[in-house]
Structure 1
């Protein structure tokens, strides 16, 4: 299928070939204070969302895990302890600034023995077929230009019997819509301006959430590239959803 000439970057239309650069600029800007902003934006609830994801991964000692868009290493930190010395975790991120922050933080905490760091595009993962027991991508899929291509790439490198877990902002319950919109488009950019000096990047993040597929659409996208037993679990009234699918 021929790739479209343009795609969305938040609410803007940009040339498809340029979206990755625009996204990179956003995360270069916010990398240093990414964790602080996550705490402020979610009132710390993002830690629960991530803990729920890891707790439902089924990852055991000796497993091999790929953490895509792993950023500052929240999930990688937890997985490295779960897989132990005989296991292995790869923290992958397309953005060098985010990857460096994650590497520095985990290294400073002495978590080094079973982790590799790879700068990689989710649409073309540089790993052999059937490499990983579990793949996670937390709050990263919405920034990918071609989500179908990325999901197919994840399917390829997942081992038979392995699980993909996509943790992402989604469509909240109707009763929450007005409050959520006000917070996203009024409060969030101001928090970004106050704590990072960058309101525009956080305005983009709010817009990117609205442009991301809803729960049922993403579930079908996973099925379409080959994943089976696909389901999702809404958290915080659907503000976030954890999608899961298996390769058999």
Structure 2
């Protein structure tokens, strides 16, 4: 499928499923290479932003290979984490990581849809997601679902690639994504999947526009932090006592 032709939500879901099935085994290595080793620090910052406490229950939306989940448990070992992803190959890699770390008793891995989370309202103390929003059919719907399943007063935190604005760095970053990344994709023998990365970023709104979506949903104290020169942005917000979603 041409990545520029998604006529329906189902078209994008099918395409993205294929992308992640193809790259699942090399996903973590490629993330580290492509981010020059910064991805660990981005996740560390994001988990801290959730302000999680002992024995809380946290949702990891589009958990992928459970790197985010593992970092949350590193920072707060008493957590219970629900790790949800729509791709079985990514979940298989995540299960291996969690089992190898001896954390399987604290993590429940679920294959499910971020657009329609299979949980009751006000189930979790906090929710997080990393590098998923570029791939979902409807950003607002996913953020709405995350708000719905988190208790009032709980934090929702999302880490995603962003669009640097600093002159010079912006041009260098765009060059890297447009010309260097496709070469890396060819070396990985999966050019079509890695071609989606710059394309998905091109389609993704600027971090300031994403913030407006958070505000439109009624998140309190909604804000974002740009890291590493704006390569990524960490959006966060607090679920209000009388949220739009919880009072539908």
TM-score clears 0.5: yes
Out of 204, 229, 232, the position equivalent to 2:224 is 232
Aligned to 2:244: none
Asked whether 1:128 is paired with 2:120, we answer yes
Cα deviation for residue 218 of structure 1 reads 0.7
Out of 33, 38, 62, the position equivalent to 1:69 is 62
Aligned Cα RMSD in Å?
A: 1.4
Asked whether 1:155 is paired with 2:152, we answer no
Aligned to 1:5: none
SS of equivalent to 1:141: coil
Cα 1:209/1:10, change in 2 over 3 Å: farther
CA distance in structure 2 between the aligned counterparts of 1:75 and 1:135, rounded to whole angstroms? 11
Aligned to 1:23: 16
TM-score of the aligned structures, taking structure 2 as reference length: 0.91
CA distance in structure 1 between the aligned counterparts of 2:212 and 2:8, rounded to whole angstroms? 26
Out of 23, 33, 52, the position equivalent to 2:26 is 33
The answer to whether the 8 A contact 1:37-1:192 is kept is: no
Cα deviation for residue 181 of structure 1 reads 1.6
Cα deviation for residue 83 of structure 1 reads 4.1
When structure 1 is superposed on structure 2, of 51-60 and 131-140 the one drifting more is: 51-60
TM-score of the aligned structures, taking structure 1 as reference length: 0.91
Cα deviation for residue 10 of structure 1 reads 5.0
Asked whether 1:223 is paired with 2:215, we answer yes
Question: 1:1-248 counterparts in 2 under 5 A?
Answer: 11-85=4-78, 87-175=79-167, 176-194=169-187, 196-248=188-240
Aligned to 2:246: none
The answer to whether the 8 A contact 1:131-1:158 is kept is: yes
Structure 1: which 4+ aligned runs deviate by more than 4 Å? none
When structure 1 is superposed on structure 2, of 170-179 and 33-42 the one drifting more is: 170-179
The answer to whether the 8 A contact 2:127-2:150 is kept is: yes
Cα deviation for residue 14 of structure 1 reads 3.5
| Residues 86-117 of structure 1: per-residue CA shift (max 9 Å, x gap) | x3101111111111100112112211121100
CA distance in structure 2 between the aligned counterparts of 1:212 and 1:125, rounded to whole angstroms? 22
| Residues 214-242 of structure 1: per-residue CA shift (max 9 Å, x gap) | 11111110111221110000011111000
CA distance in structure 2 between the aligned counterparts of 1:91 and 1:191, rounded to whole angstroms? 29
Cα deviation for residue 47 of structure 1 reads 0.9
